[in-house]
Amino acid sequence: MAMWVFGYGSLLWKPGFEVAERVIGRLPGYARSFCMRSIHHRGSVEHPGLVLALDPSTGTACDGMALRVAPGAEAQTLQYLRDRELISSAYVEKNLAVQLDDGRTVDALVYVIDPDHVQYCGGLPLEEQAQIIATAVGGMGPNTEYLYNTATHLSEIGLHDPSLEWLHARVKALCA
């Protein structure tokens, strides 16, 4: 059985594993937002950055990319993703139904936010998010790079996310 992973943030542009197939997909019941404080990859404990996570949200859906893992690489990919995504246990690993643009529905590995975790910060105003992203830096680089790469990749694959587009423009202006 094929292993699928749903990418909505950095997995879009830096999956880190061999991908056999990419299909635009939709995950119902979740919204993409900068609702997780990053204390490792894009910020520090002293100056947390923000990264995207999926927040449960009735009546919404997150558009992203379903990535089918190359056959034979499933176990290695799962370990890699757990090492990368579960670094601080703010994400919860789930298998959820993703509706693919080609009409298929697949069960995909998805990392969603734990709203009870100390790093959860849902509901921050966009301006506050922009101020944080503009200055935070972590072990994987500047928070701005994470935002810019994600917004650019979403645009390149034809996915529209008004909040991310606003943040992209605002952070560029703050950093100019």
User: Is 145 one of the annotated active-site residues of the chain?
Assistant: no
Look at the alpha carbons of 17, 89, 62, 27 in this order and tell me if their dihedral is positive or negative. Answer: positive
Question: DSSP assignment, residue 98?
Answer: E
As a whole number of angstroms, the distance between CA 157 and CA 29 comes to: 22
Count of Cβ atoms closer than 10 Å to residue 151 Cβ:
20
Question: DSSP assignment, residue 39?
Answer: S
Among residues 18, 46, 85, 93, the one annotated as catalytic is 85
CA distances from 128 to 8, 86, 94, 121 (A): 21, 25, 29, 11
Task: Give the residue numbers annotated as catalytic, written as ranges.
Answer: 85
